[in-house]
Structure 1
Amino acid sequence: MSSQIVQYVLLRSDLLKDLGWSIGALVAQACHASTAVLHLYREDEDTMKYLDDLDNMHKVVLEVPNEDSLKKVAEKLKENSIDHKLWIEQPENIPTCLALKPYPKDQVKKYVGKFKLYKATLSSHSTVLS
């Protein structure tokens, strides 16, 4: 039995915590990377299965601490032929996010398992999310 198909998205936490990017800008980075990788691998069997059941897509957003960590993950994925898209925000030319194409969870968990779920703290923001 094959494991659940999941899409992992790795987002730099320093963009919010240290560089002052807005939460909206971070969400946009994750959306860009996710959309781009789905388009690039749109003919892949797992991607097609993932998109065939839109109401049950499973996406996991993980936190990487900084640009160097993000680049290291991208290199490790490349070395192991794991399809992904490293999103580089333009015109700033800043790597911000990385999205794997949808994969059965058991095939890629070992590459991303050390990262925690992304948690944005809103303590300095007066906005209440409901």
Structure 2
Amino acid sequence: MSSLVQYVLLRSDLLKELGWSIGALVAQACHASTAVLHLYREDENTMNYLNDLDNMHKVILEVPNKESLKKVAEKLKENSIDHKLWIEQPENIPTCLALKPYPKDEVKKYVGKFKLYKETLNLVQV
């Protein structure tokens, strides 16, 4: 069996254009990841993933904006790929999407066009 990976797609415009903090973005990814693991807790892939906690593999990918995130969610739904679109409340803002754990080969075609989430920060030395 190929190793399992959980893909998390996070909007980059939240940080770059809307001024959200790094902590807020990390929280969104955590919310989506936790929610999808709970929703699909009885799925064989999810159980196997969680039974090997020290070797969990997550990949955080960058999507440019809300429209791109919603488009991916629709494509996943059309193809019966289990996922959770996280919508931050009470603002009702779609921020992040997490797939349940899958073998990489099964879902790569849906997420392969997105790049790893990388953000250069201007850190001030104290």
Post-superposition Cα deviations, 1:1-54, rounded to whole Å, max 9, x if no partner, equal x32100000000000000000000000000000000000000000000000000
Post-superposition, which runs of at least 4 consecutive aligned residues in structure 1 deviate over 6 A? none
Q: Percent identity?
A: 87
Paired residues, number? 126
Name stretches of at least 5 consecutive residues in structure 2 with no aligned partner. none
Q: State the one-letter code of the partner of 1:80.
A: N
Write the distance in 2 (CA, Å) between the matches of 1:60 and 1:113.
Answer: 11
Q: Tell me the secondary structure at the aligned position of residue 126 of structure 1.
A: coil
Map of 2:24 onto structure 1: 25
For residues 55 and 20 of structure 1, do their structure 2 counterparts lie closer, same or farther at Cα, with a shift above 3 Å needed?
A: same
Q: State the one-letter code of the partner of 1:90.
A: Q
Q: Tell me the secondary structure at the aligned position of residue 122 of structure 1.
A: coil
Map of 1:105 onto structure 2: 104
Name stretches of at least 5 consecutive residues in structure 1 with no aligned partner. none
Post-superposition Cα deviations, 1:40-90, rounded to whole Å, max 9, x if no partner, equal 000000000000000000000000000000000000000000000000000
Q: TM-score, normalised by structure 1?
A: 0.94
Q: CA RMSD of the aligned region, Å?
A: 1.2
Q: TM-score, normalised by structure 2?
A: 0.97
Q: Does 1:14 align with 2:35?
A: no
Write the distance in 2 (CA, Å) between the matches of 1:111 and 1:96.
Answer: 18
Write the distance in 2 (CA, Å) between the matches of 1:39 and 1:126.
Answer: 39
